[in-house]
């Protein structure tokens, strides 16, 4: 069901991009916007791991530095049928984790130092399995595609603002054009965030399958959510969506849930436990 929802959302973003491109830039404007956005995101796709680790201040560790954690990741990745990812630890008190990398052969699983102290073994297994699920599902590739499309929509809107869009149709409604300029990038962002939320649900489900039980991950999500609201984390908002729970949760409020890349912890736990 999650995959169906993602397909529908991707189709909606594709239709939005085509409509905006045809209205303002024609075929040439659409292609130009895709090339610009695609070029930027291809660079990020190939260099994401180093950039994200640097953003979190994380350091790669070997087995000798964290033997229990390393062996846990090794055991779970074998259950998931994945190659051993690079393991890293970020020096943050807030318990959290993320995965990055362009494919399973170049993946990184990173946990914060706070996570290693504030969760028990079953909870840690659930957290690690969730991140391995992101790798198994190739969510980094999906994130790159959606970012490219959202970026193209924003680029087309900016192109229309600065260059006036197409001039071959004098019958176009200027109010409708203005509405598209404002609403199209907003709609693209909402669709992008909705896709991210669906991938979190999918990673929760696959993570529970990897471990063999959902209770540890459910408890971990509740604990991580509670700590994220009490222990601040200094991290770039651009890197925050990768974390297992929103590391900037203490800054949320009002309409922020609409623009959240993470579904509510209550809903995630309810789905995991079949409530």
| Residues present in the chain in total | 275
Report d(CA 35, CA 179) in Å as an integer: 25
Q: Tokens standing for 60?
A: 């790669």
Catalytic residue among 123, 125, 131, 200: 131
Beta-strand relationship, 86-90 and 59-61: antiparallel
131 is catalytic: yes
Give CB contacts under 8 A, 24+ apart, made by 43-47: 44/144, 44/147, 45/102, 45/140, 45/141, 45/144, 46/102
Place of tokens 């399958």: 209
Report d(CA 94, CA 232) in Å as an integer: 7
List residues with catalytic annotation.
131
């Amino acid at each position: 069901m999650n995959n169906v929802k993602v397909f529908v959302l991707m189709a909606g973003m594709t239709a939005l991009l085509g409509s905006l491109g045809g209205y303002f830039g024609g075929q040439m404007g659409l292609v130009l916007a895709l090339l610009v956005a695609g070029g930027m995101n291809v660079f990020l796709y190939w260099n994401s791991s180093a950039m994200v680790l640097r953003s979190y201040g994380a350091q790669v560790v070997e087995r000798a530095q964290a033997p229990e954690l390393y062996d846990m990741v090794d055991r779970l990745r074998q259950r998931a049928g994945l190659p051993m990812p690079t393991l890293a630890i970020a020096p943050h008190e807030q318990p959290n984790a993320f995965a990055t990398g362009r494919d399973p052969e170049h993946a990184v699983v990173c946990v914060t130092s706070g996570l290693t102290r504030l969760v028990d073994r079953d909870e840690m297994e659930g957290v690690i399995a969730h991140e391995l699920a992101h790798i198994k599902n190739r969510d980094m590739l999906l994130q790159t595609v959606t970012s490219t499309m959202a970026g193209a929509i924003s680029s087309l809107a900016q192109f229309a603002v600065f260059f006036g869009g197409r001039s071959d149709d004098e019958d176009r409604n200027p109010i409708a054009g203005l509405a598209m300029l404002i609403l199209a990038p907003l709609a693209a962002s909402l669709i992008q965030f909705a896709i991210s939320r669906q991938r979190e649900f999918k990673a929760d489900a696959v993570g529970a399958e990897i471990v063999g039980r959902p209770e540890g991950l459910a408890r971990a999500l509740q604990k991580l959510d509670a700590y994220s609201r009490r222990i601040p984390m200094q991290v770039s908002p651009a890197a925050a969506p990768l974390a297992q729970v929103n590391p900037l949760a203490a800054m949320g409020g009002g309409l922020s849930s609409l623009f959240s890349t993470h579904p509510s912890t209550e809903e995630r736990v309810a789905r995991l436990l079949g409530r």
